[in-house]
Amino acid sequence: MSSQSNSADDHLTEVPERHRETADAVIPEHTSLYIGGEFIDSDSGETFTTTDPTTNQKLASVARGTEADVNRAVEAAWDAFDTEWSGYDSGDRQRVLLEIADTIDAHTEELAQLETLDNGKPITEATIDIRSSAEQFRYFAGIVRENSGETMTDDTRYGQVITEPYGVVGQIIPWNFPLMMASWKLAPALAAGNCTVLKPAEQTPLSALRLAELIDDIVPDGVVNVVTGFGDEAGEPLTRHPDVRKVAFTGSTAVGKQVMKNAAENVTDITLELGGKSPIVIFPDVDVAKATQLISAAIFYNTGECCEAGSRLFVHEDVADGLLGALVDGIDAMTIGDPLLEETDLGPKVSTEQVDRTLEYLDAAREAGGEFLVGGDRPDDAALSDGCYVEPTLIEGLDHDHVAVQEEIFGPVLEVFRWDDYETMMELANDVDYGLAGGVITDDITQANRAARDIQAGYIWINSYHDLAPGLPFGGHKQSGIGRELSADTLDHYQQTKTINLSLR
């Protein structure tokens, strides 16, 4: 592994300076709540700090929303729905969505830099996030015009099945893909005709606030509201609010269960996109160089902070030594450093809490006798000591029921298992509570299809990973969630059907 600086001193001066200058250029003007088309302080007047995980310096003070603010936002959203937004037909909404997409595209560089500052992800990956955020709006702008309902007639009745928006929905998102997750939520909700109250994660509120500034002239006041703050103070009241008709949540399985319980109080509809611990299965025929690239991207993309990360590797005995050696060589060649630089492969994790959480799992793995093929700690590099960095790590020799294998680490940590018997391997691959995704690498189409069908998960990649295309539904089996994003199913999740039965007698 190499760090980009020639010396710790360079890193200590150049990197903070670069980050300060970039922050001066891109931090949004408003870091307060966005309610009813206005940027306003929280009811309590309190704020919280969002930091830059590369430097651990403060980026901005952000309004700390609580229940009173959620109430205001829900009221503003219903007001917008009743007075204006419900009068927008699908063509009107399509135009709004396309305009949002164009606006995001026009600000790609700025939004990517903001995301990299707030989250720590490499700028190349942040740029991909922003482009795909714009694409979300375009995709739903396209399918909303096809959303026309059905009829069923016979001699005695004329039946129409129409769809209606819920009215006001609550949307709660995590910090790993901040603007992308906001877009995955906002685009279908608006396409379906809803108004929304969005709560970004406390670690990464800035890109949602900048988006609010950018769409302020495009979307009528109150259609989109952003309440920043903490999960228990601003998220929970949104899930319990009797006038919120649907809650869409992306985050951890533990919080998702809580959201489900709270939504039950008012029988509020929910969709949950939760955690994962996805297997990648390697067959003996693979091209080692190609497989190595795919596996590395599957786990190290976004510093391992991906719900769908391929974090358990099942490699066939026949190719294990060669493939693991190549993986270690690949890791040694990775550039770890300032995520604002194009050449950086791996940036810091999002926060010191997330570093500590990852290191706890690594300690537990070490105590259980896990063999660290590479990594296992913070990088031993003074140049990176101010940031939230964790080394890319490969661990072999853990029991499959070990906590580090069963639970989502959400960091750059891959656990390796060798196999020679397919049935035994597949039993282990499925022996987790999660079922979000999986990967299969082989040129044997029969084996590939068999494994894809056998893995208990909502999304399987054969010979690729992380490739998400609007139109192909994404979501989890088992404890990885309820509902699908990125597809026409998603539009369905944001509307309710109504049957109108007209008698012909």
Binding site for ligand NAP (CB under 6 A): 172-176, 199, 201-202, 230-232, 235-236, 239, 250-252, 255, 258-259, 273-276, 307, 408, 410, 436, 476, 481
Q: How far apart are CA 287 and CA 52, in angstroms?
A: 39
Listed residue (163, 213, 217) closest to 193, CA to CA: 163
345 touches which of ligand NAP, Mg ion, none (CB within 5 to 8 A by kind)?
A: none
Q: Which is nearer to ligand NAP, 54 or 262 (CB)?
A: 262
Decide whether 403 or 500 has the Cβ nearer to ligand NAP: 403
Per CB under 5 A, 42 contacts Mg ion: no
Minimum distance from residue 199 beta carbon to Mg ion (Å): 15
Residue number of the CB closest to ligand NAP reads: 231
Nearer to ligand NAP, 330 or 438 (CB): 438
Q: Which of the 8 DSSP states describes residue 233?
A: I
CA distances from 111 to 115, 125, 461, 467 (A): 6, 12, 29, 22
Burial label for 17, CB within 10 Å (0-12, 13-18, 19+), is exposed
User: How many Cα neighbours within 13 Å face the side chain of 248?
Assistant: 30
Residue 447 binding: pick among ligand NAP, Mg ion, none (C-beta 5-8 Å cut-off by kind): none
From 307, 388, 391, 485, active-site residue: 307
Q: Out of Mg ion, ligand NAP, none, which partner does residue 50 contact, by CB within 5 to 8 A per kind?
A: Mg ion
How far is CA 76 from each of CA 30, 64, 139, 469, rounded to the nearest angstrom? Answer: 19, 18, 27, 34
Is 388 in the active site? no
Question: Min. distance of Cβ 232 from ligand NAP in angstroms?
Answer: 5
Amino acid at 421: D
The partner in contact with residue 331, picked from Mg ion, ligand NAP, none with C-beta cut-offs of 5 to 8 angstroms by kind, is none
Closer residue to ligand NAP (CB): 163 or 258: 258
Task: Report d(CA 436, CA 463) in Å as an integer.
Answer: 17
Identity of the residue numbered 296? S
> Min. distance of Cβ 467 from ligand NAP in angstroms?
15
Contact between 118 and Mg ion by CB under 5 A: the answer reads yes
Given 236, 273, 305, 391, which residue is catalytic? 273
Q: Cα dist. 330→11, 118, 229, 314, 345 in Å?
A: 24, 27, 39, 18, 11
By the rule CB under 5 A, 221 interacts with Mg ion? no
| 19 vs 199, beta carbon nearer ligand NAP | 199
Told to judge if 273 belongs to the known catalytic residues of this protein, a careful annotator would answer: yes
- Where in 54-167 does DSSP place strands (E)? 57-63, 150-153, 157-165
Q: What is the DSSP letter of 61?
A: E
Q: Nearest distance from residue 251's CB to ligand NAP, in Å?
A: 3
Q: Give catalytic residues, as residue numbers.
A: 273, 307
